[in-house]
């Protein structure tokens, strides 16, 4: 209960920016002595500072005002992507203060990649004059099935990783508390805390880059599934006997609409002799063609590129419609490089979703682009550390805010110290 009360206090201070002990007691219903003791602990932990406010009346006493110690909140964030790995340093509002990147090699072992991540973090801390003791924690975003309780990547088809203890490795190498989650769940967290999903009770997030991932939030809570794979629409079959997917199956949504699939479709058209600006944006070199070049050509109204955008929009819309019919989110938020595809992509996605909704829904589900852009994963990774401190997403009033799987089991909470008995 003490940790729960502490979480209440720091969230109220965050929401108000500046507030007195008296006002905290009034808003929480806690007695003043409890608030005083909790604030003293938060000050000892360097979480809260005090300042003096001018008295309301002439001759009155200057009130002591509480505020978060923003300078003390230094969080290391990591996004391990298929092509690029980024490490960064952010503050309590997830503002990126510094970052470094390196090329991810699928030929490298998981241990080699994680050692490089650790070295890049050390270099980042040196560059920013930050000591290990000043870091509140490390948040890691990575694709695949991730056990958020243990920090183990159970399976990542795009990285070819199986049973990799990311949390344990980084904590051993750096001595900093580390939290790991799936990249699309991190995107959902980021949009819920700082972006397009602030205040939404139920929404879905679909992350379309090299592959396709999805996550689901209902009653403000992120759902993981019994085996960490809830809402993985990237690997639902949408075309029987379709193209081979990285997961080993055929006809997956990812194999038809992920970034790799888009590049393959464009190269196929070019090799067949179709005239398109896609190749021009790749400097005339077919091996350089990616989803980005398709998007740029679509923006120029290039017909083959627009046709690819329409095809991709159809498949993405079809996959999303299944999720909407099952879970009824109010919004579906798109993120990742492909989500920013030019041309008629987003219009087609929304059209297909509406065409495939069950019955006559009084309030249609809208598919929109997220607010956080290319930084969505690392901003979401920062919330893993903020949650451990005791923060909850802005606007969420439930002090028992937690992450649940589909069986209703609690698998993570606003802070590890807030683990409660079911």
pLDDT at residue 3 in the model: 80
* pLDDT value at residue 71: 81
Structural contact between residues 231 and 215, judged by C-beta atoms closer than 8 angstroms: yes
Average pLDDT over residues 294-301: 94
- Say which residue, 84 or 410, is predicted with more confidence: 84
User: Which residue shows structure tokens 């699939």?
Assistant: 261
* Integer Cα distance of 223 and 226 in angstroms: 9
Closest CA to 406 of 221, 213, 157: 221
- pLDDT in the model for residue 360: 58
Q: In angstroms, what is the C-alpha Rg of the chain?
A: 23
% of the chain exceeding 70 in pLDDT: 90
Amino acid 402: pLDDT: 47
pLDDT (mean) for 33-48: 91
Interval 367-378: pLDDT, tens: 999 999 999 999
The alpha carbon dihedral of 30, 36, 37, 42 has a sign of positive
| pLDDT tens digits for range 154-202 | 999 889 999 999 999 999 999 999 999 999 999 999 999 999 999 898 9
**Between residues 414 and 252, which one has the greater pLDDT?**
252
Mean pLDDT score, 298-312: 95
Pairwise pLDDT comparison (418 vs 165), residue with the higher score: 165
Structural domains in the chain, CATH included, are 2-69 (1.10.10.10), 73-191+377-389 (3.30.420.40), 197-370 (3.30.420.40)
Confidence of residue 220 (pLDDT cuts 50, 70, 90): confident
At 51 the pLDDT is 80
| pLDDT band at residue 416 under the 50/70/90 scheme | very low
Provide the pLDDT for residue 414: 42
Report the distance separating Cα 332 and Cα 355, nearest Å.
Answer: 16
Average confidence (pLDDT) over 288-293: 94
Angle at which helix 376-389 crosses helix 183-194, to 10 degrees, equals: 70
pTM for the predicted model, two decimal places? 0.87
pLDDT digits (tens, 9 = 90+) for 46-88: 889 988 665 444 445 566 899 999 888 899 999 999 889 999 9
Convert the chain into a string of H (helix), E (strand) and C (coil): CHHHHHHHHHHHHHHHCCEEHHHHHHHHCCCHHHHHHHHHHHHHCCCEEEEEECCCCCCCCCEEEEEECHHHCEEEEEEECCCEEEEEEECCCCCEEEEEEEECCCCCCHHHHHHHHHHHHHHHHHHCCCCHHHEEEEEEEECCEEECCCCEEEEECCCCEEEEEHHHHHHHHHCCCEEEEEHHHHHHHHHHHHCCCCCCCCEEEEEECCCEEEEEEECCEEECCCCCCCCCHHHCECCCCCCECCCCCECEHHHHHCHHHHHHHHHHHHHCCCCCCHHHHCCCCHHHCCHHHHHHHHHCCCHHHHHHHHHHHHHHHHHHHHHHHHHCCCEEEEECHHHHCCCCHHHHHHHHHHHCCCCCCCCCCEEEECCCHHHHHHHHHHHHHHHHHCCCCCCCCCCCCEEECCCCCEEEECCHHHCCCC
Give the pLDDT band (50/70/90) at residue 420.
Answer: very low
Inter-residue contact 177 to 368 (CB < 8 Å)? no
The larger pLDDT score, comparing residue 289 to residue 55, is at: 289
- Range of weakest confidence among 3-7, 11-15, 38-42, 317-321: 3-7
Q: What is the C-alpha separation between 302 and 224, in angstroms, rounded?
A: 40
């Amino acid at each position: 209960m003490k940790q729960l009360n502490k979480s209440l206090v720091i969230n109220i201070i965050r929401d108000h920016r500046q507030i007195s002990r008296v006002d905290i007691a009034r808003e929480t219903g806690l007695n003043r002595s409890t608030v005083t003791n909790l604030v003293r602990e938060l000050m000892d932990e360097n979480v809260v500072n005090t300042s003096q406010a001018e008295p309301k009346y002439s001759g009155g006493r200057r009130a002591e005002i509480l505020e978060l110690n923003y300078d003390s909140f230094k969080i290391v964030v990591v996004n391990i992507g298929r092509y690029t790995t980024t490490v960064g340093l952010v503050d309590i509002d997830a503002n990126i203060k510094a970052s470094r990147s390196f090329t991810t090699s699928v030929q490298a072992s998981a241990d080699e990649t994680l050692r490089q991540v650790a070295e890049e973090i050390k270099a980042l801390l040196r560059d920013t004059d930050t000591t290990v003791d000043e870091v509140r924690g490390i948040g890691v975003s990575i694709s695949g099935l991730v056990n958020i309780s243990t920090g183990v990547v159970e399976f990542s088809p795009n990285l070819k990783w199986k049973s990799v203890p990311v949390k344990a490795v980084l904590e051993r190498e750096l001595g900093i508390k580390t939290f790991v989650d799936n990249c699309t769940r991190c995107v959902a967290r980021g949009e819920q805390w700082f972006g397009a999903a602030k205040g939404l009770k139920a929404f879905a997030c679909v992350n379309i880059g090299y592959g396709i991932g999805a996550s689901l939030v209902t009653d403000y809570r992120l759902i993981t599934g019994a085996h960490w794979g809830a809402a993985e629409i990237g690997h639902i079959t949408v075309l029987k006997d379709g193209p081979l997917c990285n997961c080993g199956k055929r006809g997956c949504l990812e194999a038809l609409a992920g970034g790799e699939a888009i590049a393959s479709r464009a190269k196929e058209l070019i090799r067949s002799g179709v005239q398109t600006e896609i190749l021009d944006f790749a400097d005339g070199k077919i091996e350089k063609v990616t989803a980005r070049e398709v998007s740029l050509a679509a923006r120029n109204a290039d017909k083959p590129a627009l046709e690819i955008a329409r095809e991709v929009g159809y498949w993405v819309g079809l996959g999303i419609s299944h999720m909407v019919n099952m879970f009824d989110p109010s919004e579906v938020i798109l993120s990742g490089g492909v989500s920013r595809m030019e041309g008629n992509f987003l219009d087609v996605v929304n059209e297909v979703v509406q065409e495939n909704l069950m019955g006559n829904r009084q309030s249609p589900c809208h598919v929109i682009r997220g607010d956080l852009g290319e930084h969505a994963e690392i901003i979401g990774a920062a919330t893993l550390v903020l949650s451990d401190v005791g923060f909850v997403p802005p606007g969420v009033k439930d002090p028992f805010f937690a992450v649940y799987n589909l069986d209703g089991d609690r698998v993570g909470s606003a802070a590890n110290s807030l683990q409660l008995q079911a």
